[in-house]
């Protein structure tokens, strides 16, 4: 416990995937960390004690609907910190109090947030405009949210895009050792291209569209295999659909996997990652290992990481809920010549290396704390 640094970080939670950037903040900014104990959704957490500057767990107390209070966070405003980096969640009532106190005290508060999604109604827009207006700057996961907020009247200089990241350093070390293998040929007993999905097998992921598309394309003589990494409440329905179309030998229900080396070679050796429903960090995970991503084009229903998808370069979009639009895109992407596939792989690497990594994020945090942006 270091305590007494000039920068304080207050988070509603610290997911495991955020450990690399938080450790960099710990090392380079000498942050003190106050972190919430839980949120409503199940998510794997990092070990908070790995942070030298970890001070205390704050209890997130549910109030009503989606609103909650973070016990003890408002009082931190009176501690002798110059800068605060906090989770910018308008549903956290104590954060409103914290922002107002710091506004009166003249301290800088940087709100780390999704910002605008694009699906907000008029009332939510008004609430968010007041909330984010109380912060010194808003740190956003993507340019889409920034554009929406500028259109809503925010000063562009107040909005800083910091993107998102996974365990980039470890993943690059793994990637450098990857080679093309016949792992899929040996499992499926054919050399057809492989489409992959990694994540929870839930209805909102709309994976039935992928299986339906595979069935129809097979009738046209266009064959490919599907690998589904993960489990979830829609798994049984998807297996029933697989059996209905006699695709059991073409779809691999791989199950949950948390071994990054294993995940890496599965993604690297696939031709395409497809998420028919919403997508978020899966896009970053896939592109880190050079595999393009296909998902739908209704951006307001995605996580901000959809922006990493550049049509024709790192992936593509199809019309939401349209199986025939999905089929058309699958045809295009599975027919790419090897030369084009290598070009796509390099594009994927470049997007991650220039935007979606913790080293870019920490450089922005340093500038914020130093007052240079």
pLDDT higher than threshold 90 for residue 372: no
How high is the pLDDT of residue 217?
98
Mean residue pLDDT of the chain comes to 95
Grade residue 373 by pLDDT with cuts at 50, 70 and 90.
Answer: confident
Q: How far apart are CA 308 and CA 304, in angstroms?
A: 9
Torsion angles phi and psi, residue 79, rounded to 5: -75, 160
pLDDT (mean) for 246-259: 96
pLDDT tens string 265-297: 999 999 999 999 999 999 999 999 999 999 999
pLDDT confidence tier of residue 371, bands split at 50, 70 and 90? confident
pLDDT at 43: 82
Beta strands 159-161 and 83-87 are unpaired
Segments in 229-293 forming alpha helices (H)? 235-244, 260-268, 281-288
DSSP 223-237: --EEEEEB--TTHHH
pLDDT at 44: 87
pLDDT at 316: 98
Q: Are 55 and 81 in contact (CB under 8 A)?
A: no
Tell me the average pLDDT across 11-30.
96
The pairing of strands 315-318 and 293-296 is parallel
Is pLDDT above 80 for 194?
yes
Cα 34 from chain centroid (whole Å): 22
How is residue 343 written in tokens? Answer: 């070009």
Q: Are 279 and 142 in contact (CB under 8 A)?
A: no
* C-beta of residue 149 within 8 angstroms of C-beta of residue 115: yes
pLDDT, tens digit, 9 for 90 and up, residues 112-135: 999 999 999 999 999 999 999 999
pLDDT at residue 40, rounded to an integer: 67
Decide if 287 contacts 357 (C-beta within 8 A): no
Q: Looking at the predicted structure, is the pLDDT value of residue 2 above 50?
A: no
CB 94 within 8 A of CB 62: no
Q: How many CA atoms lie within 13 Å of 264's alpha carbon, on the beta-carbon side?
A: 17
Bridging pattern class, strands 67-70 and 60-64: antiparallel
Rounded to whole angstroms, how far apart are CA atoms 302 and 280? 6
pLDDT for residue 366: 96
162-175 pLDDT, tens digit each: 999 999 999 999 99
Sole residue written with tokens 């993107």? 163
Q: How far apart are CA 36 and CA 50, in angstroms?
A: 15
Strand partners, 86: 10, 111
- 8 strand-pairing partners: 32, 84
């Amino acid at each position: 416990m270091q305590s007494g640094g000039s920068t304080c970080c207050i988070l509603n939670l610290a997911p495991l995937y955020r450990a690399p950037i938080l450790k960099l903040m710990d090392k380079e900014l000498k942050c003190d960390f106050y972190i919430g104990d839980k949120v409503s959704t199940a998510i794997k957490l990092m070990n908070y004690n790995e942070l030298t500057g970890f001070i205390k767990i704050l209890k997130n107390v549910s109030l009503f609907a989606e609103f909650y209070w973070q016990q003890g966070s408002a009082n931190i405003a009176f501690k002798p910190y110059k800068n605060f980096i906090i989770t910018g969640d308008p549903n956290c009532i104590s954060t409103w109090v914290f922002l107002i106190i710091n506004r009166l005290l003249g301290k800088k508060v940087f709100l780390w947030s999704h910002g605008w999604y694009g699906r907000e109604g008029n009332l939510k827009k008004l609430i968010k405009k007041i909330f984010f207006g109380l912060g010194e700057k808003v740190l956003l996961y993507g340019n889409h949210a920034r554009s929406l907020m500028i259109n809503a009247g925010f000063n562009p200089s107040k909005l800083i895009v910091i993107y998102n990241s996974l365990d980039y350093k470890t993943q690059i070390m793994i990637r450098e050792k990857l080679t093309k293998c016949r792992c899929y040929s040996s499992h499926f007993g054919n050399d057809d291209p492989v489409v992959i999905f990694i994540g929870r097998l839930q209805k909102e992921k709309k994976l039935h569209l992928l299986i339906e598309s595979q069935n129809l394309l097979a009738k046209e003589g266009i064959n490919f295999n599907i690998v589904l990494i993960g489990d979830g409440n829609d798994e049984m329905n998807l297996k029933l659909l697989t059996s209905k179309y006699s695709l059991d030998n073409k779809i691999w229900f791989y199950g949950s996997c948390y071994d990054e080396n294993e995940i890496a070679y599965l993604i690297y050796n696939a031709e395409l990652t497809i998420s028919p429903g919403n997508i978020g960090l899966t896009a970053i995970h896939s592109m880190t290992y050079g595999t393009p991503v296909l998902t739908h084009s209704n951006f307001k229903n995605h996580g901000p990481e959809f922006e990493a998808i550049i049509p024709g370069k790192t992936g593509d979009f199809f019309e939401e809920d349209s199986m025939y639009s999905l089929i058309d895109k699958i045809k295009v992407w599975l027919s790419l010549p090897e030369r084009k596939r290598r070009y796509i792989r390099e594009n994927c690497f470049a997007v991650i290396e220039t935007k979606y990594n913790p080293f870019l994020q920490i450089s922005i945090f340093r500038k914020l704390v130093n007052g240079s942006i």
